[in-house]
């Protein structure tokens, strides 16, 4: 007999096979493998798009759960709203804190910048350097504006090299500094310092050199180098340049290629002030300018009257300067040389024959380098050439120049001269008289 409970219509009881199939319809999977996936957002606030958790047992939940779900939903919305409100308040607090920190940083930077600018402005105006003192400032050759600023700061003339550099760049004063030694007062503002340093008249590294009459160009170059004005090489190079052709008596030289040094004889012997490290062109320019000034208009007119150019007068005067022992001797020798040039051929005299020209461009035999001495021959040697040498052999003084322009009347008819060891002069009109003078002066047997 079938003990299965029967219901009208042939259905089995709720506990029958059909219900068992429905409950057991899990796809053949072990219930232990069942996994439930719930998003994190749904855990915090619930899933607004779905009221309840869906499962195969929903149809068996009671109606009383619907009301609880509605309450839970409202609570989640409330919690979410409250959290958003808290986050909004927190965000406002964070923004306020950030603004405070940012504002504090701006204030601090502004204070530091203002203080730095104030220090710089005070230094520029010398407000912070009210005490008066003098410091030494050394500027090197080819110094940059930064070098100048560093030298000033190191000496204590200023307090801020950066501000001084910026000041010079902005005002366009960064390109006028040169080598030199200066004594700078510490209470000067930037403008006064710039003006002071850019004026050579304020330099303290000044050397005074006296060039004696009769000094030649090589000796001049050596003296300039010994006093740290410029080097021998720089002077000799400048002496053969065309930088001085702006002077009419220099531009009138037509045989520069025949001369050892173009400017020989044009560097007037006198006392000059030079700056250490001075441009050789500037240094020689001082001496040429003096020569042009000392060779007066009256002298030019006298030379022209005698038929001489300025160069010929200086050439003759340089030989007179080298040969004579005193001013009176100069006027005699000047007349004798002119006699030889003008009338020498009538007395079988065709050369000036002056010892001072034999070793030019050197002053004497002892100055000729040993490796050149044996075969040395000067193109200025008046024992081998006729007439005047190509140019002056030294720098003549005013007395020698005047002697050429105004020779002694006693030199008329005189063609020879010599000196003994004491500098006593002997003059002669004939060769036989001259030979006798040579013996008397101890120059011949």
What is the tens place of the pLDDT at every residue in 34-43?
555 555 555 5
Q: Which residue has the higher pLDDT, 183 or 65?
A: 183
- Reported as a single tens digit per residue, the pLDDT across 282-322 is 999 999 999 999 999 999 999 999 999 999 999 999 999 99
pLDDT of 53 > 80? The answer is: no
Residues β-bridged to residue 419: 425
Q: How far apart are the first and last CA of the chain?
A: 187
pLDDT of 63 > 80? The answer is: no
pLDDT of 424 > 80? The answer is: yes
Q: Which pLDDT score, from 0 to 100, does residue 26 have? A: 47
Classify strands 134-139 and 180-185 as parallel, antiparallel or unpaired. antiparallel
Which of these, 424, 191, 213, lies nearest to 318 by C-alpha position?
A: 213
Q: Which pLDDT score, from 0 to 100, does residue 127 have? A: 76
Q: Which pLDDT score, from 0 to 100, does residue 352 have? A: 97
Q: Which pLDDT score, from 0 to 100, does residue 118 have? A: 60
- Reported as a single tens digit per residue, the pLDDT across 214-231 is 999 999 999 999 999 999
Q: How confident is the model over 375-396, as a mean pLDDT? A: 97
Task: Count the neighbouring beta carbons within 10 Å of the beta carbon of residue 102.
Answer: 10
**Pair 355, 417: CB distance under 8 Å:** no
Q: Residue 113 to residues 22, 106, 132, 214, 378: CA-CA distances in angstroms?
A: 83, 10, 29, 66, 73
Q: Which pLDDT score, from 0 to 100, does residue 15 have? A: 45
**Residue-wise burial string across 60-81, b where 16 or more C-beta atoms lie within 10 A, e elsewhere:** eeeeeeeeeeeeebeebeeeee
Q: State what percent of residues in the chain have pLDDT above 90.
A: 61
Q: State what percent of residues in the chain have pLDDT above 70.
A: 81
> Which range, of 13-27, 209-223, 233-247, averages the lowest pLDDT?
13-27
Q: List phi, psi (to 5°) of 242.
A: -100, 15
The distance from CA 81 to its chain's CA centroid, rounded to whole angstroms, is 74
**Pair 102, 154: CB distance under 8 Å:** no
**Pair 240, 262: CB distance under 8 Å:** yes
pLDDT of 61 > 90? The answer is: no
pLDDT of 33 > 60? The answer is: no
Which of 62-71, 74-83, 111-120, 150-159 has the highest mean predicted lDDT (pLDDT)? 150-159
pLDDT of 390 > 90? The answer is: yes
Q: Which pLDDT score, from 0 to 100, does residue 304 have? A: 96
**Pair 164, 152: CB distance under 8 Å:** yes
Going from N- to C-terminal start, the domains of the chain cover 92-204, 210-414
Task: Count the neighbouring beta carbons within 10 Å of the beta carbon of residue 433.
Answer: 15
Which of these, 268, 267, 277, lies nearest to 200 by C-alpha position?
A: 277
CA angle 433, 439, 441 (to 5 degrees): 100
Q: Residue 19 to residues 14, 60, 112, 403: CA-CA distances in angstroms?
A: 6, 13, 86, 155
Q: Which pLDDT score, from 0 to 100, does residue 105 have? A: 76
Query: What is the Cα–Cα distance from 27 to 218, expressed in whole angstroms?
Result: 121
Assigned token pair, 70: 């509605």
Instruction: State the average pLDDT for the chain.
Output: 85
Assigned token pair, 206: 């000044």
Q: Which pLDDT score, from 0 to 100, does residue 227 have? A: 96
Q: What CATH superfamily classification does 92-204 receive? A: Endolytic murein transglycosylase (3.30.1490.480)
| C-alpha count within 13 angstroms, C-beta hemisphere, residue 73 | 13
Q: Which pLDDT score, from 0 to 100, does residue 278 have? A: 92
How does residue 439 score in pLDDT terms, banded at 50, 70 and 90?
very high
- Reported as a single tens digit per residue, the pLDDT across 187-198 is 899 899 999 999
- Reported as a single tens digit per residue, the pLDDT across 321-357 is 999 999 999 999 999 999 999 999 999 999 999 999 9
Q: Which pLDDT score, from 0 to 100, does residue 39 have? A: 57
Q: Which residue has the higher pLDDT, 105 or 3?
A: 105
pLDDT of 17 > 50? The answer is: no
Q: Which pLDDT score, from 0 to 100, does residue 20 have? A: 44
Please provide the DSSP assignment of 149-196 as one string: HHHHHHHTS-S-HHHHHHHHHHHT-TT---SEEEEEETT--HHHHHHH
How does residue 8 score in pLDDT terms, banded at 50, 70 and 90?
very low
Q: Which pLDDT score, from 0 to 100, does residue 311 have? A: 97
- Cis amide linkage into residue 162, ω under 30° from 0: no
């Amino acid at each position: 007999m079938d003990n299965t409970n029967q219901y009208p219509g042939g259905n089995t009881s709720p506990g029958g096979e059909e219900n068992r199939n429905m409950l057991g319809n899990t796809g053949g999977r072990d219930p232990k493998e069942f996994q439930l996936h719930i998003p994190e957002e749904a855990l915090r606030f619930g899933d607004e798009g779905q009221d309840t958790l869906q499962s195969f047992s929903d149809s068996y939940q009671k109606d009383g759960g619907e009301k609880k779900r509605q309450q839970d939903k409202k609570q989640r919305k409330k919690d979410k709203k409250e959290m958003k409100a808290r986050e909004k308040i927190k965000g406002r607090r964070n923004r306020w804190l950030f603004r405070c920190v940012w504002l504090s940083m701006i204030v601090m930077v502004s204070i530091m910048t203002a203080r730095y600018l104030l220090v710089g402005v005070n230094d520029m105006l010398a407000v912070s350097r009210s005490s008066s003192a003098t410091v030494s400032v050394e500027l090197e050759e080819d110094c940059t504006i930064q070098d100048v600023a560093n030298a000033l700061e190191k000496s204590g003339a200023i307090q801020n090299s950066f501000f001084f550099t910026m000041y010079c760049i902005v005002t366009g004063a960064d390109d006028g500094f040169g080598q030199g030694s200066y004594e700078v007062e510490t209470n000067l503002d930037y403008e006064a310092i710039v003006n002071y340093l850019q004026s050579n008249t304020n330099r303290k590294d000044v050397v005074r050199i006296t060039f004696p009459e009769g000094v030649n160009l090589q000796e001049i170059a050596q003296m300039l180098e010994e006093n740290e004005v410029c080097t021998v090489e720089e002077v000799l190079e400048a002496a053969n340049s065309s930088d001085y052709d702006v002077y009419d008596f220099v531009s009138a030289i037509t045989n520069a290629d025949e001369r050892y040094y173009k400017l020989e004889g044009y560097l007037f012997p006198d006392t000059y002030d030079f700056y250490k490290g001075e441009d050789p062109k500037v240094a020689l320019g001082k001496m040429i300018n003096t020569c042009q000034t000392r060779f007066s208009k009256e002298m030019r007119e006298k030379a022209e009257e005698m038929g001489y150019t300025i160069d010929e007068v200086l050439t003759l005067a340089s030989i007179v300067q080298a040969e004579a022992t005193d001013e009176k001797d100069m006027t005699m020798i000047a007349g004798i040389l002119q006699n030889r040039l003008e009338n020498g051929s009538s007395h079988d005299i065709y050369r000036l024959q002056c010892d001072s020209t034999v070793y030019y461009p050197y002053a004497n035999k002892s100055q000729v380098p040993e490796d050149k001495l044996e075969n040395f021959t000067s193109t200025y040697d008046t024992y081998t050439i006729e007439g005047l040498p190509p140019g002056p052999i030294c720098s003549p003084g005013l007395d020698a120049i005047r002697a050429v322009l105004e020779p002694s009347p006693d030199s008329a008819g005189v063609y020879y001269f010599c000196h003994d060891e004491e500098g006593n002069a002997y003059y002669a009109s004939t060769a036989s008289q001259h030979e006798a003078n040579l013996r008397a002066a101890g120059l011949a047997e």
